[in-house]
Amino acid sequence: MEIVNSKAKLQALLSGAKGNKSIGLTPTMGNLHSGHLKLVDAAVKECDIVVCSIFVNPTQFGPDEDLANYPRTLEADKEKLYSADCDILFLPTIAEMYGDNLNSETTIHVPGVSANYCGKSRPGHFDGVATIVCKLLNIVQPTISYFGLKDYQQFLVINKLVDDLRLPVKVVGIETEREPSGLAKSSRNNYLDSNQLDLAAGLYATLQWAAGQLQIPLCNFIAIEKSATNRLNQLGLTVDYFSICHSNSLLPASQKDCELTILAAVFLGKTRLIDNIHVRL
């Protein structure tokens, strides 16, 4: 596995592949777990060359969020990627990705799907995500780029970014990897102690309960959201949002919709967890 820090060296490595070989990209912020490796595995199966990036992107963190404390496990990450048959690990610095003045760089805003839910709770978050993903796609110019569906709103933001800017890349979503308890794998799970991990499993259990309620004819979506919120609060989770949405637009779902996604975000102490579940009626 080649490890490179500069976009110039990365592009030099990839220059001979373009037009002849397919390139798969898995953008990450490191602290890799089996969910990340599931993306790498998909890329290995489908592409000739696999690039994984590790970059803790400062522009997607708010001023009171966990940028400084975000888990960083680079040596372990390298070992996991080597074992997963990743070909190139891209490890850029902040200066490499943003230049000398982080605040003077061009920012990309994706309207519509980024407005609510995590976009509302974390102002500027999706602008940071869209900007760094666009930079990585432009640098690597992959055939396919892989993203986890745990961050479903982010996945739709990236899809719209690629469509709107006519970027020549296929975006593939990979199903969420879960603990035996149902808890979605996440780097932020490292912040939780054993008791909190047990409580956190209630998030997915509540999503499953709500998905079951949606199968009842003429059910009341707002009542399901309220009941789910009460269930989570009783477990000791503080609900940011619990919303039944149209799967493509993320607008509030109506009785006419057949493809639904339930989006949820909660706080457990200072740790913010997100998850979702898809429902077809």
Q: Say if residues 108 and 161 touch (Cβ distance below 8 Å).
A: yes
Q: Is 36 a catalytic residue?
A: yes
| pTM beyond 0.85 | yes
Q: Say if residues 170 and 144 touch (Cβ distance below 8 Å).
A: yes
How is the beta sheet containing 259-268 ordered, strand by strand? Answer: 238-246, 259-268, 271-280
Fold of the domain built from segment(s) 187-272: Pantoate--beta-alanine Ligase; Chain: A,domain 2 (3.30.1300)
Could you report the per-residue pLDDT of 28-54, keeping only the tens digit for each? 999 999 999 999 999 999 999 999 999
Could you report the per-residue pLDDT of 161-189, keeping only the tens digit for each? 999 999 999 999 999 999 999 999 999 99
**Any idea which of 10-19, 151-160, 234-243 has the lowest mean pLDDT?**
10-19
pLDDT greater than 80 at residue 87: yes
The phi, psi pair for 245, rounded to 5°, reads -125, 160
Choosing from 36, 109, 246, 278, the catalytic residue is 36
Instruction: Give the residue extent of every domain in the chain.
Output: 2-174, 187-272
The bridge status of strand 271-280 relative to strand 259-268 is antiparallel
- State the CATH class of domain 2-174: alpha beta
Name the residue type at position 130: A
CA distance 176 to 187: 13
Let me know the angle formed at the C-alpha of 97 by 93 and 103, rounded to the nearest 5 degrees.
105
